[in-house]
Amino acid sequence: MDQPEKKDSPNKIKYLIGVMSGKGGVGKSTVTYLTALALRQKGYRVGILDADITGASIPRIMHLPRYDMKVSGDFICPVETEQGLKVMSISFLVDNEEQPVIWRGPLLSRAIQQFWGEVLWGELDFLVIDMPPGTSDVAITVMQSLPLKGFIYVSTPQNLVSVVVARSMQMAERLEVPALGLVENMSYFICPHCGQKTYFYGQDETEKLARQFGAELIVRIPISLDLARLPSEGLKPESPDVAEVLEKLGTFLINKLIIS
């Protein structure tokens, strides 16, 4: 069922990976951005496909202003950021970002197909897909029809969240999309006033999930003000929290996909 690029396509994408969870609001878009940037910082050519059509967040997370999209022949040109990332999101195609995309499933699936096949990605080492929550149309279409190398899963250490993430991991197993690894987000909070650590939830939920599906826990990301305020204040790559996450994500993926 995979649809590789057509023979006359200008797109050559080596590694297509998705950032998945099943659950909403766990930080998929943030992890997508950090993953793409981590690979870019290692010298690779990287794109981001925002597959969350009805809940697009990538342009806000990445602080991308409004763009006039350009067209080249039959292809839409993705936005190119200062960091050298190519990005496509439905938000670039609507009049204003508060405009809802009120589409039933078939239209969502069609949009995903277009973002894959009719966007001028060119030659990329990595294309990272920001998946929407749920296990319905978009998830089905991406897993069934795109040549994915695997998913990075994002979870938080709450049993409620682990259960929903486990559902999406079961779905991917059934559709034979490998689990590359897991990211635990919102692991704990360090009070900026007293420096003490608070765990909001449990501490071993994500490890259990990793064991259950034979996937590695790549990194634990604390609730850091630098990351929480990413959409309003922009990325601070020099922040120790951010730098550590970038290093771990980049190293993990290169070892997993390229070196091994």
Binding site for its own copies (CB under 8 A): 22-26, 53-55, 57, 60-61, 97-106, 108, 132-137, 139-140, 158-160, 163-164, 166-168, 170-171, 174, 189, 191-194, 196, 198, 200-202, 223, 225, 228-229, 231-232
Single out the residue of 200, 219, 129, 210 nearest to residue 165, CA to CA: 210
In angstroms, the CA 65 to CA 96 distance is 11
Helix and strand numbers (H, E) in the chain are 9, 11
Minimum CB distance to its own copies smaller for 11 or for 156: 156
Minimum CB distance to its own copies smaller for 101 or for 254: 101
In angstroms, the CA 87 to CA 69 distance is 11
CB 158 to its own copies: min, Å: 6
**Tokens for 197?**
């650590």
In angstroms, the CA 135 to CA 21 distance is 9
Question: DSSP for 158-225?
Answer: -HHHHHHHHHHHHHHHHTT--EEEEEEEEEEEE-TTT--EE-SS-SSHHHHHHHHHT-EEEEEEEE-H
Count CB atoms within 10 A of the CB of residue 233. Answer: 11
Minimum CB distance to its own copies smaller for 77 or for 228: 228
Minimum CB distance to its own copies smaller for 140 or for 254: 140
Minimum CB distance to its own copies smaller for 228 or for 258: 228
Interacting residues of 27 by C-beta distance below 8 A, sequence separation 6+? 154, 156, 183, 185, 186, 221
Single out the residue of 38, 50, 36 nearest to residue 78, CA to CA: 50
Minimum CB distance to its own copies smaller for 35 or for 57: 57
CB 40 to its own copies: min, Å: 22
CB 137 to its own copies: min, Å: 5
In angstroms, the CA 80 to CA 171 distance is 33
CB 182 to its own copies: min, Å: 15
CB 202 to its own copies: min, Å: 6
CB 168 to its own copies: min, Å: 6
CB 131 to its own copies: min, Å: 11
Q: Can you tell me whether residue 237 is helix, strand or coil?
A: coil
Minimum CB distance to its own copies smaller for 84 or for 234: 234
